[in-house]
Amino acid sequence: MTATTASCILAKLAATGDAYAKGQPGARESLIALSRELIANLELSSEFLQRSFWAEPAMCASIRLAVDLDIFGLLREAGAEGVLPDVLAEKVGMQASLLKRLMRHLVAMHVLELADGKLRANSLSNGLAMQDYQRSIMFCFDVSRPSLNSFPSYFKEMKYQEPALSKIDGPFNKAFGSPLPFFDWLNANPPNLQHFASFMACYRDGKPNWFESGFYPVQERLIAGFDPSIGEALVVDVGGGRGHDMVMFAARYHDHPGNIILQDQDVVIGEIESKDAQPFTAIAHDFYKPQPVMGARAYSLHSILHDWDDDHAAKILENLKPALKPGYSRVLLNEIVVSEDEPALAATAMDMMILGHLNVCERTEAHWRTIIEGVGLRVINIYRYPGSAESLIEAELAL
């Protein structure tokens, strides 16, 4: 580390700060990346070890414990007034001295605030208090973390080879001693699938959506030219979870023509509240079976194919093909396209998650093209958006 490097990063931070103040898309994400770069340049190895291997695991463990006791919810209720640690300890049934130590660490990690001896929520902890975040914390701590922790022993056993993509047993199976593939295990072990659905909703939270202006031109590419005589659906969200994408899509294009269809597994569809009040029609559908909604303008698959190896990804696309109207229906793959030269943290972090859970990988552009073209589709265009790890690959039947 040199003072020159630090000054150089600081100059970039200042310029990006101006862009952020002007509301430029991607500026916030660049500020975070530059801040991380600055820390990496300044931090000593001993400080890195302390932060990454003690402070952050202890923070995650304390947050997981806080979920069990609804500590963030109680602090949110207390508002700006805050709560004395003794009072909070009594409410949640924890020894006051223990609570003070754990919460002090969360204050040091900027997860909570401390003022006049009282613990106070901040915008981060209030976010974490929301039900989807509470469930996501359970998913990340209870399921993801053991899977990632098993990398050293799993890969030692594998003689440091990448697992064959079609192989079922991976780090997740080693961690849980289960022969079941990840999604089957989630299904068989409630409420883990629900926790996972919450995790997906949180993963999306605040990130640019593919249908935002400047990302994918929905008006020009989907709405213009929509023809109900070909098919009544404007968009079918295949494996769309509980519909978070489609709720936002419908809000943005509230006078859109045609129907919006949401498809997912039975149990996920069953979780959707007040189905009649939703802007979509929810249907349980297994994407390994032929697509039942014919001739839609678009079939959106958001973070679906990245969960599967190449053979399974191809099967999912094959099952869409008979429903596609040539020259009209578009397949929209909203996926990470990994840069070989400048890997972004959001892309590599997701690559590690899916390696840990599913034994699969995030794909480069060349890899995507091989799969898409291999099933007789054609890439029309790849749309990117500043600050977004995900791109929108638009494809159609190859003629």
Ligand X SMILES: C[S@@+](CC[C@H](N)C(=O)[O-])C[C@H]1O[C@@H](n2cnc3c(N)ncnc32)[C@H](O)[C@@H]1O
The Cβ-side half-sphere exposure at 340, using a 13 Å CA radius, reads 4
Instruction: Give 104 or 204: the residue with its C-beta nearer to ligand X.
Output: 204
* Region of 19-27, 96-104, 117-125, 260-268 interacting with ligand X (CB under 6 A): 260-268
* Residue 239 CB, nearest approach to ligand X (Å): 3
* Region of 80-88, 100-108, 302-310, 391-399 interacting with ligand X (CB under 6 A): 302-310
Which residue among 170, 239, 258, 356 contacts ligand X (CB under 6 A)? 239
* Residue 316 CB, nearest approach to ligand X (Å): 8
* Residue 381 CB, nearest approach to ligand X (Å): 20
To which residue do tokens 């590599």 refer? Answer: 348
Q: Does the protein bind ligand X through residue 356 (CB under 6 A)? A: no
Which residue among 304, 323, 324, 350 contacts ligand X (CB under 6 A)? 304
The rounded distance, in Å, linking the Cα atoms of 69 and 362 is 36
Which residue among 182, 226, 287, 299 contacts ligand X (CB under 6 A)? 287
Q: Does the protein bind ligand X through residue 200 (CB under 6 A)? A: yes
Query: Interaction with ligand X in 104-133: which residues (CB under 6 A)?
Result: none
Q: Does the protein bind ligand X through residue 190 (CB under 6 A)? A: no
* Residue 198 CB, nearest approach to ligand X (Å): 11
Q: Does the protein bind ligand X through residue 303 (CB under 6 A)? A: yes
- Residue 198 near residue 139 (C-beta atoms within 8 A): yes
Instruction: Give 120 or 285: the residue with its C-beta nearer to ligand X.
Output: 285
Q: How far is CA 294 from CA 155, 224, 233, 243, 355, in A?
A: 44, 19, 8, 20, 34
Which is catalytic among the residues 105, 244, 302, 306?
306
DSSP class per residue in 159-227: TT-PPPTT----HHHHHHT--S-HHHHHHHSTTHHHHHHHHHHHHHTTSPPTTSTTTS-HIIIIITT--
> Does residue 306 have an active-site annotation?
yes
* Residue 393 CB, nearest approach to ligand X (Å): 14
* Residue 344 CB, nearest approach to ligand X (Å): 18
Which residue among 98, 288, 339, 343 contacts ligand X (CB under 6 A)? 288
Q: Are strands 281-284 and 298-302 parallel, antiparallel or unpaired?
A: unpaired
Q: Does the protein bind ligand X through residue 54 (CB under 6 A)? A: no
Q: How many residues bind ligand X (CB under 6 A)?
A: 16
Residues 316-355 vs ligand X: string with x where CB under 6 A? ----------------------------------------
List the beta bridge partners of residue 301: 333
Q: Does the protein bind ligand X through residue 302 (CB under 6 A)? A: yes
Q: Are strands 330-338 and 363-364 parallel, antiparallel or unpaired?
A: parallel
Instruction: Give 156 or 289: the residue with its C-beta nearer to ligand X.
Output: 289
Q: How far is CA 313 from CA 333, 340, 368, in A?
A: 11, 21, 10
Query: Interaction with ligand X in 167-186: which residues (CB under 6 A)?
Result: 183
DSSP class per residue in 9-23: HHHHHHHHHHHHHTT
Residues 6+ positions from 239 with CB-CB distance below 8 Å: 263, 264, 287, 301, 302, 304
Q: Does the protein bind ligand X through residue 155 (CB under 6 A)? A: no
Residues 6+ positions from 107 with CB-CB distance below 8 Å: 113, 114, 119
Q: Where are the beta strands (DSSP E) in the chain?
A: 113-115, 118-120, 233-238, 259-264, 281-284, 298-302, 330-338, 363-364, 377-383, 390-397
Which stretches of the chain bind ligand X, using CB under 6 A?
183, 200, 204, 239-241, 264-265, 268, 286-288, 302-304, 307
Which residues are tagged catalytic? 306
